[in-house]
């Protein structure tokens, strides 16, 4: 059955969803973005089938409407939507990283008989914008749907069936559960990462050399502090209460840790680390988590001229694309001098094989 999907917001997520859905030949995508250059680019590079000039007009034609805009914008647009003429059986959804406030805004649509099912594909990238869109972005990633409890079962099934082609793992939860769980595993770690970077900045005056040492573990732990500040401002504002609760839990944990530092013996301190290690090591690694994943590979390369070009050359020859490359100067808590980041787990696995085929360098995945 042919379906028309209108995607509003053609950035990384909206663009990737468009490309993912276009794998189904029966789906045609109309795209709209507040930035006309983005819409034109999306059409030119084949992300969308048709450009929408006015959302209101395009919305009339759509079987499914997806808001892939920043969360605050989505709420504003949902408010405007009550004045649009929509198909009777239209399904409206979004991709926002928070769900409680979005579902609150959806109450108004529900009163008008418009089906709204919240959505959150839990995948991302270090890039944003339509040119970063990839058809495989959601493969193996959890894709949360938040219908109103005990409502829209049929429509949720239609939406899940539509999304199946993206190869995401679709799960249904309620908005409160969603915001709590994502606060724990995604939103709150962003606050911690940002706070650690602020703490480092405070060192600048007395020990400016500290930042030179802030490689390895510090960089890994704070990587997400480099995410888009506007997006994280909106997420933080919308999930303020859950984040405040998490901060309290964290504060309690820090007090516990301080007591441990001041009073515990070696055995207890070791146990604190070994319990954390055990829990961390047991986390699932085959699926993408709530935070966007980069697939790092540590390579223990010897120090001779041209060694990095050599490694990159082997990867290029096997057509394995990489997203980042860095040399680690402080290696206290990691193995390997060269760190190469890949976009997918498959690419990294191919990278390991390629390096093993061409060199004797040891590789390590943390």
292 binds ligand NAD (CB under 6 A): yes
Which residue among 9, 118, 189, 336 contacts ligand NAD (CB under 6 A)?
9
Residues 6+ apart with CB under 8 A from 88: none
- Residue 140 CA, chain-centre distance (Å), reads 12
Residue 13 or 322 having the CB closest to ligand NAD: 13
Residue 31 or 351 having the CB closest to ligand NAD: 31
What residues between 77 and 96 interact with ligand NAD by CB under 6 A?
77, 95-96
What residues between 34 and 53 interact with ligand NAD by CB under 6 A?
34-35, 38
> Contact region for ligand NAD (CB under 6 A) — 119-127, 166-174, 178-186, 242-250?
119-127
SS3 state of residue 6: strand
Rounded Cα–Cα distance for residues 180 and 44 (Å): 40
Residues 6+ apart with CB under 8 A from 291: 124, 185, 186, 189, 224
**Closest residue to ligand NAD: CB criterion:** 11
Give the binding-site size for ligand NAD (rule: CB under 6 A).
28
165 binds ligand NAD (CB under 6 A): no
Which residue among 50, 73, 177, 346 contacts ligand NAD (CB under 6 A)?
73
Nearest residue to 67 (alpha-carbon basis) of 145, 115, 19, 10:
10
Sign of CA dihedral 186, 191, 194, 197: negative
Rounded Cα–Cα distance for residues 34 and 77 (Å): 11
Which residue among 20, 31, 118, 124 contacts ligand NAD (CB under 6 A)?
124
What residues between 332 and 361 interact with ligand NAD by CB under 6 A?
none
Residues 6+ apart with CB under 8 A from 101: 71, 75, 238
Residues that bind ligand NAD (CB under 6 A): 8-14, 32-35, 38, 68-71, 73, 77, 95-97, 120-121, 124, 128-129, 231, 292
């Amino acid at each position: 059955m042919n379906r028309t999907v209108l995607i509003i917001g053609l950035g990384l997520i909206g663009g990737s969803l468009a490309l993912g859905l276009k794998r189904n030949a029966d789906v045609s995508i109309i795209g709209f973005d507040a930035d006309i250059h983005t819409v034109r680019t999306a059409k030119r590079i084949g992300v969308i089938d048709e450009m929408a000039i006015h959302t209101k007009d395009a919305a009339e034609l759509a079987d499914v409407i997806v808001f892939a805009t920043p969360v605050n914008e989505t709420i504003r647009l949902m408010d405007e939507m009550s004045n649009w003429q929509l198909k009777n059986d239209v399904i409206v959804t979004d991709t926002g990283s928070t769900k409680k406030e979005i579902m609150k805004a959806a109450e108004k649509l529900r009163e008008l008989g418009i089906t709204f099912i919240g959505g959150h594909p839990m995948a991302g990238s270090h890039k944003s914008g339509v040119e970063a869109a990839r058809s495989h972005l959601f493969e193996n990633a959890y894709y949360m749907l938040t219908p109103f409890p005990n409502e829209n079962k049929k429509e949720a099934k239609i939406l899940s069936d539509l999304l199946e082609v993206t190869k995401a793992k679709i799960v249904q939860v309620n908005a409160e559960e969603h915001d709590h769980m994502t606060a724990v595993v995604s939103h709150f770690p962003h606050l911690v990462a940002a706070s650690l970077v602020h703490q480092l900045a405070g060192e600048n005056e007395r020990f400016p050399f500290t930042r030179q040492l802030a490689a390895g573990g510090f960089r890994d732990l704070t990587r997400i502090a480099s995410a888009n500040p506007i997006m994280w401002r909106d997420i933080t504002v919308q999930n303020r209460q859950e984040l405040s609760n998490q901060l309290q839990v964290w504060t309690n944990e820090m007090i516990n840790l301080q007591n441990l530092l001041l009073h515990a013996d070696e055995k207890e301190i070791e146990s604190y680390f070994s319990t954390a290690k055990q829990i961390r090591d047991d986390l699932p690694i085959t699926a993408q988590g709530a935070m966007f994943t980069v697939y790092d590979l540590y390579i223990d390369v010897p120090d001779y001229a041209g060694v990095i070009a050599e490694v990159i050359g082997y990867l290029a020859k096997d057509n394995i694309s990489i997203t980042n490359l860095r040399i680690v100067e402080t290696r206290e808590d990691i193995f390997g001098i060269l760190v190469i980041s890949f976009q997918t787990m498959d690419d990294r696995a191919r990278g390991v094989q390629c390096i093993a085929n061409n060199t004797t360098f040891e590789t390590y995945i943390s």
